[in-house]
Homo-oligomer: A and B are copies of this chain.
Amino acid sequence: MENHDSFVLHGNIIYTPDKNKFISLKDGWMVVEKGKIISVSAEKPASAAGLPIKDCKGKLIMPGFADLHLHAPQFIQIGMGMDYKLLDWLDGYTFKEEPKFADPDYARQIYPIFVDEMTACGTTSSAIFATIHKESTDILCDILAQKGVRAYVGKVNMDTNSAPALTEETAKSLQDTEAFIEKWQNHPLVRPIITPRFVPSVTADMMTGLGKLAEKYQVPVQSHLSENPGEIQLVKELFPQDKYYMSVYDRFGLFGQTPTLMAHCIHLSAEEIAIMAGKNVYAVHCPASNLNLTSGLMPLRKLLDAGVKVVMGSDIGGGHTLYMPHEIVRAIEISKIRSIEHPEEKALRLSEAFYLATKAGGEFFGQTGSLETGYSADFLITDVPDFQQGRTVEEQLQYFIYHGTAQDIREVYVNGLSVKN
């Protein structure tokens, strides 16, 4: 990683150092050296002397987005079968799509389209479920690495209660997972993450093995938690000795023993929320998916107030968009709906939702997701239409988040390098 450009950006800079406020600089300056942000300032700093200037006047410069939950193989089934409930949808689409990735050529055909689109949408960091297939998962990692974006990728584990074509032999699954970890654990951008699909589709033996791998290699974990009432009931029946759904993961070393992402976290008691807050577990809020699959309205404010780390995910194909501003808007909308019946749960402000989708999520990858000194230079440059040039930078961002599309994103940088086609 020696070839990072050093340069200075000059444009409208905006980011959220904490969730309660935007910092914005009209015609500000950002110095990037060897992939890191050196300074952000209103006036041109001395350190900019001699560096090439990238003129972004009239454009917005903001952190790249972090998408902490998504299923790459479901990219091509986006929006399909949304009239069905979860189980029929899984049977009708997901469990027909995912087996296709047994064929590496299929992965070579589909995954590049997915990675191109995710990057064009401004996502610079992601945590991805692939499929159970090791070879296709390696291919996905290769494509991400070549693109130069930041990602945690999981070879999915499933050895029970699953469609036959997606049911693994436990020992082989663990063996493949270990080989996958060893192959990718030292890559600078694309790293392995342990990925039991969710409690109902893994045996106790599988979870025991995965917990050991997490500990041995100190790799993070991702899975699903409390997405819908039927799923929660099923977990209760499968593991009656565990007090809560999360207790199952916890007992096997898959709940914060290493950094852990738990998608959805909708139906949680106050006690469960308190347990989560005390652990290194991130709740991944997936607004579009929660609506599309009638999963429910996540009590985001409650989790934040309790001190749970909350981040955002697109959850394609339960969600239908890789463009994180759509998820930012929906997170706000869902919180507004909740605030009607639960006035104590104050609606999310834009700065908060933006923070969740940038700095909060970026934290999972180290110092990324903000435009502060020492952070990785992972950022976007977006167009601002002529008729919005008179607005404040914060208003320009509001317009971009609510009205923008991937086509408004001109450039995407990771570690100071351009990654958009």
Contacts and interface: CB of A to CB of B under 8 A. Distances in A.
A147 interface: no
> Can you tell how many copies of this chain the complex includes?
2
Contact of A350 (B82, B321, B350, B395): B82
A340 interface: yes
A78 interface: yes
A279 to B, nearest CB: 29
Contact of A349 (B78, B79, B83, B288): B83
A297 interface: yes
B320 A350 contact: no
A294 B335 CA distance: 9
A68 B362 CA distance: 41
B83 A350 contact: yes
A82 B332 contact: yes
Contact of A403 (B297, B321, B332): B321
Contacts of A347: 294
A388 B80 CA distance: 11
A288 B329 CA distance: 10
A224 interface: no
Interface string A199-225: 000000000000000000000000000
15 contacts: A76-B387, A79-B402, A82-B402, A83-B350, A110-B387, A291-B336, A292-B332, A294-B336, A294-B340, A296-B340, A297-B337, A320-B329, A320-B402, A337-B337, A405-B407
Given A83-B350, A110-B387, A294-B336, 13 more contacts: A79-B401, A80-B395, A80-B398, A80-B399, A80-B402, A82-B402, A113-B387, A291-B337, A292-B332, A294-B340, A320-B402, A337-B337, A405-B405
Interface of A: 76, 78-83, 109-110, 113, 288, 291-292, 294, 296-297, 320-321, 329, 332-333, 336-337, 339-340, 347, 349-350, 385, 387-388, 391, 395, 398-403, 405-407
